[in-house]
Amino acid sequence: MERENWASKLGFMLAAMGSAVGLGNIWRFSYVVGENGGGAFLILYLASVLVIGVPLLLAEVSIGRKAQSDVVGSFQKLAPGKPWFLAGFFGVVASFLILGFYSVVAGWSMYYFWNYLTGELFAVPSEGYGFIFDSFITSVYQPLFWHGLFMIFTIFIVLTGVKKGIEFANKLFMPALAILLLLLAGYSLSLDGAMEGVRFLFQPDWSVLDDPSVYIAALGQAFFSLSLGVGTMMTYGSYLSKQHRLPGATVGIGIMDTFFAIISGIVIFPAVFAFQIQPDSGPGLVFIILPDIFAQMPFGGLVGILFFLSLTLAAISSSISLLEVPVAYFIRVKKWSRKFASIVTGSIMFALGIAASLGMGGLSHITPIGDYNIMDSMDFVASNILLPFGGLAMALFIGWHFTKQQAFEATDLTNSAFRNIWYLLIRYIVPVLIIIIFLNTLEII
Ligand code: TRP
């Protein structure tokens, strides 16, 4: 079968940005920043994006474009008979783990969208939004229903094909989300006590860096947010033809993704302090804070509808990129049809998500890693272990398996002023940093 291709470089850019921008920028970013003490963590995160994330993004997309294959196939094609392709399997496993819980959280967002549409969440409930959120996520059937619905949408878009399915949502709703976030940031900054939130986010308290788990959290967040290490960007890159130039595109994706994260921080933290909620409240943070903001602001109900709609669609453009990784793999290896591959892999992810969702309530006593519930454990293994490991393999692959000339050619850096610095980063600095952060983490688990 012919492999699909993006219609244009814009098509690729939109899809890759759509993949990067999602729940990771808003939901995950804000609670992880909150849990890790704010400003100093933010600086570590930004450093990880700049020094490790963006150079790796270029590497990952380039490997895919050169090989024109899925995450396992790309390594096999460029290094036949060598063990590199094992990193591809880590990617496939990570895609199952991540989309398993990602779809549950996206389901929460859909549920909020629905409840704003019906007006249910307009006014602050007597028990407060925190209580409403907790009773929803700890219940059995409701979250599973929305998780299932979200997965059905994801499967449907992936089975209709990469291009056709993806482009529409991104063109309309990414700008919508950006505009809403800017608006909300302005409002949030005007709240009484907002400055304390601004200080939390931007004024580093360096003492939080004494805790070794902060480093891996920053690295994991950078990988998660940029969709790195799984093979998502490799797979998307494999649908690119040779005439497009990559370095500018990857820097653009990095800037865009960071922009969304920082603006969400400016929305969330001033409000966290204004409404006197603990910044380290965990994964429920945005689902408790945002409704509080909407309830106070003029036309808040309408803003709530639009916000959760845009957030859900941003989540869909990310979830399809995750599902595409195993689908592309199974289509090639098992000769499955796109339809069959999407349904089978999506259903397995749905099942994993059931465990994650029940782990918020009835199964909360099950803590596979430390005191982490099922969802946090899936996230930890995927984001903080499998993704950095995948990224390490990609950096070593392009830095040591390729010759220097091959590496420059694959990335379109041959005539670029930045080629030597990129090469230095990818060959030495990125691998060394990832290994150091890993070793550091071994002490905590
Ligand atoms: N980056 C997306 C987000 O921020 C999620 C995502 C999509 C992802 N593809 C990925 C995360 C691959 C890790 C790996 O919401």
Interval 147-168: pLDDT, tens: 999 999 999 999 987 666 666 6
Range of the domain at 206: 9-441
pLDDT of the residue at 176: 84
> What are the structure tokens assigned to 186, written together?
């302005």
Q: Which two tokens stand for residue 363?
A: 């199964």
Q: Are 239 and 5 in contact (CB under 8 A)?
A: yes
Residue 369: helix, strand or coil by DSSP?
strand
- Number of compact structural domains in the chain: 1
Quick check: 389 and 86 in contact, CB under 8 A?
no
CA 315 – ligand 1 centroid, Å: 9
Q: How far apart are CA 168 and CA 112, in angstroms?
A: 23
Nearest-CA residue for ligand 1 atom 2 is 20
Task: Quote the tokens at residue 119.
Answer: 């007006």
Return the pLDDT at 173: 77
Pocket test for ligand 1, best of 29, 316, 321, 349 (most atoms within 8 A of CB): 321
Count other Cβ atoms within 10 Å, centred on residue 245: 12
The candidate with the shortest Cα–Cα distance to 48, out of 310, 254, 336, is 254
User: Tell me, what's the pLDDT at 86?
Assistant: 95
Tens digit of pLDDT for each residue in 24-66? Answer: 999 999 999 999 999 999 999 999 999 999 999 999 999 999 9
Q: In this structure, what token pair is assigned to residue 384? A: 């903080």
At residue 269, what are phi and psi to the nearest 5 degrees?
-70, -40
Span 127-140, mean pLDDT? 95
DSSP 118: T
Residue 2 belongs to some domain of the structure: no
Return the CATH number at 117.
1.10.4160
Judged by average pLDDT, the poorest of 7-16, 223-232, 263-272 is 7-16
Of the chain, the end-to-end C-alpha distance in Å amounts to 45
Give tens-digit pLDDT for 66-93.
999 999 999 999 999 999 999 999 999 9
Q: What is the CA(195)–ligand 1 centre distance, in A?
A: 31
**pLDDT tens-digit series, residues 296-307:** 998 999 999 999
As a whole number, mean pLDDT of residues 219-244 equals: 93
Evaluate whether 153 touches 324 at the Cβ level (below 8 Å).
no
State whether the beta carbon of 19 lies less than 6 angstroms from ligand 1: yes
Nearest of 37, 55, 59, 35 to residue 47 by alpha carbon: 55
The model's pTM is 0.95
In the three-class reduction of DSSP (H, G, I as helix; E, B as strand; rest coil), residue 83 is classed as: coil
Q: What pLDDT was estimated at residue 162?
A: 62
Q: Residues near 306 by Cβ (< 8 Å), separated by ≥ 6? A: 176, 180
Neighbours of 405 (CB within 10 A): 9
* Mean pLDDT confidence for 429-441: 93
Supply the mean pLDDT for the chain: 93
388 is a domain residue:
yes
Residue 3 in any domain: the answer is no
Please name which of 152, 70, 106 lies closest in space to residue 342, comparing C-alpha atoms: 152
Torsions phi, psi for 372 (to 5 deg) = -80, 135
> With bands split at pLDDT 50, 70 and 90, how would you rate the model's confidence at 14?
confident
Which of 219, 232, 380 to probe ligand 1 with, by most ligand atoms within 8 A of CB? 232
Q: Which long-range contacts (CB under 8 A, 24 or more apart) does 71-75 make?
A: 71/230, 71/231, 71/234, 71/235, 71/325, 71/328, 71/329, 72/329, 72/333, 73/329, 73/332, 73/333, 74/231, 74/234, 74/238, 75/397
Q: Is residue 4 part of a domain?
A: no
> Which one, of 367, 330, 179, lies nearest residue 267 by Cα?
179
User: For the residues of 373-402, what is the DSSP string, one character each?
Assistant: -HHHHHHIIIIIIIHHHHHHHHHHIIIIIS
Q: Is 299 helix (H, G, I), strand (E, B) or coil?
A: coil
Closest to 24 measured CA to CA, from 256, 186, 193, 242 = 256
Q: Can you read off the two tokens belonging to residue 416? A: 């670029």
Of all residues in the chain, what percent carry a pLDDT higher than 90?
Answer: 86
Please enumerate in sequence order all residues whose Cβ is within 8 A of that of 412, keeping only pairs 6 or more positions apart, or say none: 62, 245, 246, 247
Please indicate, yes or no, if residue 48 is contained in any of the structural domains: yes
Q: Is 384 in the pocket of ligand 1 (CB under 6 A)?
A: no
DSSP 324-339: HHHHHHHHHHH---HH
pLDDT for position 174:
82
Give residue 140's Cα distance to chain centre.
26
What pLDDT is attached to residue 161?
A: 77
Q: Does pLDDT of 445 surpass 60?
A: no
Residue 316 included in any domain: yes
Which backbone phi and psi does 369 adopt, to 5 degrees?
A: -125, 120
What dihedral do alpha carbons 260, 262, 265, 266 form, nearest 10°?
-100
* Residue 97 located in a structural domain: yes
Binding site membership of 23 for ligand 1 (Cβ less than 6 Å): yes
Give pLDDT, residue 12.
87
| Distance in angstroms (rounded) separating the CA atoms of residues 312 and 16 | 17
* Residue 154 CB less than 6 A away from ligand 1: no
- Give the integer Cα–Cα distance in Å for 154 and 158: 6
The whole-number pLDDT of residue 169 equals: 65
- Which position has the higher pLDDT, 6 or 273? 273
Q: How many residues does the chain have?
A: 445
Q: Which atom of ligand 1 is nearest to the CA of 24?
A: 4
State in Å: Cα 324 to ligand 1 middle. Answer: 12
By the 8 A CB rule, do 239 and 162 touch?
yes
Classified as helix, coil or strand, 372 is strand
Cβ(218) – ligand 1 distance below 6 Å:
no
Q: Ligand 1 in contact with 357 (CB < 6 A)?
A: no
Considering only CA atoms, which residue is closest to atom 6 of ligand 1? 227
pLDDT of 411 > 80? The answer is: yes
pLDDT of residue 6: 81
Query: Do residues 98 and 383 lie in contact, with contact meaning Cβ atoms separated by under 8 Å?
Result: yes
Residue 1 has pLDDT above 60, yes or no: no
Q: 204 C-alpha to center of ligand 1: Å?
A: 27
Q: Is residue 436 part of a domain?
A: yes
Asked if residue 286 has pLDDT above 80, the reply is: yes
Amino acid 107: pLDDT: 98
